[in-house]
Structure 1
């Protein structure tokens, strides 16, 4: 536990550009170190977290001695990270033998050796699928074996001020034997019992408030957002704000016949495109998940893609957070990042639990986390409760 005078510290493994670190710093944490193998992401991390140390390299080749050389003997209150999750993704191949999955073991190695008070692990919702049940069981068992009480919950970023419906699996752990505390939703969903909360933030809100900093807008070169394909440029001109083409009726409603797709809709699986094409965002709503491709979504009213800054604002990055590298590298950093406002909510929940532990005479009743994968899966998608 922290004390009233000590700064709550953390290190960020698989840090990427630093979305998790940015949000935790908003909550009042101090970042000691960021680690990632992506050179452009570490450059972005370094420039936006100048007080923190950085290591660019493969975590499998990094020792705790190297980390201690950089941060000294300071106590680490929290270790957070989002180990590569392509093997678990419901979008990708979902290969549970993907070697990248075993990078979880490297994360666990540092947790066991550095013994932080708390841990955060972020991953895709596919990790909770039945296909990945053995992996999920192994992760929980390993963490419990090294002394951590662990809970798993799926959180949606739009509940925490992010204008994006991005759902992620969040593991929280502590070594005090108490239930972990998850942040309660701060903004409403479409569920009636959340109507007392303010409305979710929108794309329009993000672009009105989070694009410009002191008269400057970074990572916002419109020339990089132009559509090179002539036919695509013609089609997007006919798509209304918030709409796109996924089914044949969409094509008939929005596109003139000469711009229709040359396909047999009946031969497509479920008679639809797997992903919506020509998808314009809507300024009066939150965005779907921002991913690593700049060609996934289109500007609500202009006939172009989004700029990196527009995507970063949707992810809730502040306007003075500057991304480095090529446009493709910037998009990869933004699409892979934990939305800072989601990370801020997680940090505040941990600090709230930490304060409760500091003020109590004992650590409370221990939590039995061996309730079974089925129960974990059933509870994971319950957005309404915090504990």
Structure 2
């Protein structure tokens, strides 16, 4: 059995990279963002499969199967993380984002391809009022066409990823395969910010990239933001800033408006906060370096997402930060992928034993 896989909504390839490390044969990645595809194509050390710039709404099942040379029902795993910004708990007071219909489009692709397994990753907010209707509709559709769907809220921190990152994971298996898949047990490993990024030298003070690590450069900060960082110890956020350094919008009680975890520093001996698409600015979260007067670099964010240090990202600073922050951590994808393979192989062995006893 070929452990074939397709990564839809691939982004920069975090899911593809982890699934490849788990033992999958990735046949194809596709994403609507050209710079994401450029990133995958620029990492031949890690990827040998083709990557296409495609909108899933144009990637009908027959077309996808033609690309990978398989028939309906033959693909082992279809994986993907439909864009999730509309479900994010960080979007306060907004209605459903129009992109969220892509979750149902992903379900349509599963219906047309009929893989043995599928995986979907999304933000925990998909279980809230904005997303639960769409999630329920997807699960009902999958059950109607013959899948058993397993759902779990996973915190990446519990699996050795050096950040708190809660995500909903769906694993679906065709009923002809089985119905007893279980999610991987937390590993008990804990990796801190210190373990992950302390080895990096301090980036140049003139704003240029480090000679050995091209994405390791410091952002320009305003004088006021430098003062804010100077006023903070590790693990402290805007709640610890003196009144004169608070932004005007933060003088209002945070229970009424805004987020408490902005203008903050990470802690060396803790895991990082969730690496978001805007992690390159400490004004957007607890993204200040634990001790230096700067936000963490793109390189550091990628490491906290468990990308290899030599992974090459393509695009502008904003585009690269978005690729990194939106990715499934490769090491988490590997653990989930391994759990699916191990489950399938156990079932195969059991079936062989049972057939031999008849």
TM-score when scaled to structure 1?
Answer: 0.80
Partner of 2:167: 168
Match of 2:255 in 1: 270
Deviation at 1:131, TM superposition (A): 4.8
Q: Relative to structure 1, is the Cα distance of residues 310 and 170 closer, same or farther in structure 2, using a 3 angstrom cutoff?
A: same
Alpha-carbon offset, residue 29 of structure 1: 1.0
- Structure 2 partner of 1:371: none
Structure 2 CA distance for aligned equivalents of residues 42 and 139 of structure 1 = 27
Matched, 1:19 2:14: yes
Q: 2:100: which partner in 1?
A: 101
The answer to whether 1:328 aligns with 2:325 is: no
Per-residue CA distance 1:77-115 (angstroms, 9 max, x = gap)? 100001112222221157564321111222122212222
Structure 1 gap ranges (5+): 188-197, 365-387
CA distance in 1, matches of 2:273, 2:39: 24
1:177 aligns with 2:186: no
The separation in 1 between residues aligned to 2:153 and 2:317, in whole angstroms, is 30
**Partner-residue secondary structure (3-state), 1:280:** coil
What are the Cα deviations for residues 157-212 of structure 1, in whole angstroms up to 9, with x where unaligned? Answer: 1111110010000001101231222010002xxxxxxxxxx4x100111115699x
Shift of 1:127: 1.3
**Contact 2:87–2:131 under 8 Å retained in 1:** yes
Point out which structure has higher relative CO (alpha carbons under 8 A, 6+ apart). 1
Q: Residue 385 of structure 1 corresponds to which residue in structure 2?
A: none
- Summarize deviations over 1:275-332 as a string: whole Å, max 9, x none: 3332111111100101111113111111111111100111111112211111111100
Corresponding residue for residue 112 of structure 1: 111
- Checking the alignment, whether the CA contact within 8 Å between 2:305 and 2:329 is kept in structure 1 is yes
The Cα of 1:150 is off from its aligned counterpart by 0.2
Secondary structure at the aligned position of 2:111 is classed as helix
Deviation at 1:263, TM superposition (A): 4.7
1:261–1:39 distance in 2 versus 1, CA, 3 Å: same
For 1:54 and 1:203, the matched residues in 2 are separated by 32
1:205 to 191, 195, 202: 195
Shift of 1:53: 1.3
Question: Which one of the candidate residues 48, 53, 65 is aligned to 1:51?
Answer: 48
Distance in 1 separating the partners of 2:234 and 2:31:
38
Q: Structure 2: how far apart are the matches of 1:165 and 1:334?
A: 15
1:151 touches 1:179 (CA, 8 Å); kept in 2? no
Partner SS state of residue 21, structure 1? helix
Tell me the distance in 1 between the aligned counterparts of 2:338 and 2:96.
35
Q: Structure 2-normalised TM-score?
A: 0.86
Answer yes or no: is the 8 Å Cα contact 1:160–1:185 preserved in 2: yes
Note the aligned Cα RMSD (angstroms).
2.6
Q: How many residues align structurally?
A: 335
Whole-Å separation in 2 of the counterparts to 1:363 and 1:306: 53
The 5 Å alignment of 1:6-85 reads: 6=2, 8-48=3-43, 49-73=46-70, 75-85=74-84
User: In the superposition, relative to structure 1, how do residues 235 and 42 fare at CA in structure 2: closer, same or farther (>3 Å)?
Assistant: same
| Matching of residue 291 in structure 1 with residue 276 in structure 2 | yes
Partners of 2:272 and 2:31 in 1: CA distance: 27
Question: Contact between 2:124 and 2:168, CA under 8 Å: does it hold in 1?
Answer: yes
What is the rounded CA distance, in whole Å, between the counterparts of 2:296 and 2:28 in structure 1? Answer: 31
> 1:76 & 1:264 partners in 2: Cα distance?
51
- Provide the rounded CA distance (Å) in 2 between the counterparts of 1:94 and 1:182: 33
Closer, same or farther: CA 204–264 of 1 in aligned 2, 3 Å: closer
CA contact (8 A) 1:217 1:319 kept: no
Describe the shift of the 1:288–1:171 C-alpha distance in structure 2 as closer, same or farther (beyond 3 A).
same
In structure 1, distance between residues paired with 2:19 and 2:156: 15
